Amino acid sequence: MRAFIKYFIIFYFVSINTAYAHVLSEQSGWLHPLTGMDHVLAMIAVGAWSAIIGGRAVWIVPSFFLVFMFIGGLIGLTQADLMYTEQGIALSVLLLGIAIAVKGKIPTVLASVCTALFGVCHGYAHGYEIPVIDDATFYVAGFLVTTAFLHIVGLVCAHYLLKYKWGESTLRVLGLFCAISGMFLLVRL
């Protein structure tokens, strides 16, 4: 476990400097959500927060994020200007981290609306930064699939952490780490 934490911290500090670079080496969108720590943290946090809320939120909250991420992606593909997108992405990392740190259980509908707003911002960034390609279908499908995978990672990890005596406090510390990262990203803007 210590080795995992050590390598994660190294990966984090190397990645945080490229959080807004979103450099793509391929024309498929599956890689795009992994190119910025802001996206990775927010998407894993959505899954973790849905596990904390429990019940139907486990699938409804991440689903709302994905649907509205798709909508945001379509807006981004048009190259229309959507103001404060980067602030919205950084704010999503901050607020989702806080929700996990305080083990915030709110009604599923309210959690879904919050994540939907965040999903629009993340989707817009993915769609706006699309490489020059003829057909965006696979690109959009790629970033949606990767996002769903990251939601599942957060959900499964939080689910199993909540089963252990020390797991809840570990999850809260990870939420605090996410919130601090979000604050750092906001300050950098």
* 48 part of a folded domain: yes
* 16 part of a folded domain: no
pLDDT attached to residue 26: 47
**What 3-state class would DSSP assign to 140?**
helix
Range of the domain at 41: 29-188
**Percent of the residues in the chain that have a pLDDT greater than 70, as a whole number:** 84
Average pLDDT value for the chain: 85
Q: Residues 99, 48: contact at Cβ < 8 Å?
A: no
pLDDT attached to residue 8: 45
Residue 189, Cβ neighbours under 10 Å: how many? 11
Helix-helix angle 37-53:57-77, to 10 degrees:
150
Number of structural domains the chain divides into = 1
DSSP single-letter state for residue 135 = -
Q: Residues 68, 149: contact at Cβ < 8 Å?
A: no
pLDDT attached to residue 27: 53
pTM for this predicted structure: 0.83
* 10 part of a folded domain: no
* 2 part of a folded domain: no
Q: Residues 27, 133: contact at Cβ < 8 Å?
A: yes
Q: How far apart are alpha carbons 188 and 58 in whole angstroms?
A: 32
* 19 part of a folded domain: no
* 3 part of a folded domain: no
Q: How far apart are alpha carbons 84 and 105 in whole angstroms?
A: 27
* 81 part of a folded domain: yes
Digit-coded pLDDT (tens) for 72-100? 999 998 988 889 999 999 999 999 999 99
Token code pair at residue 39: 């996206």
* 131 part of a folded domain: yes
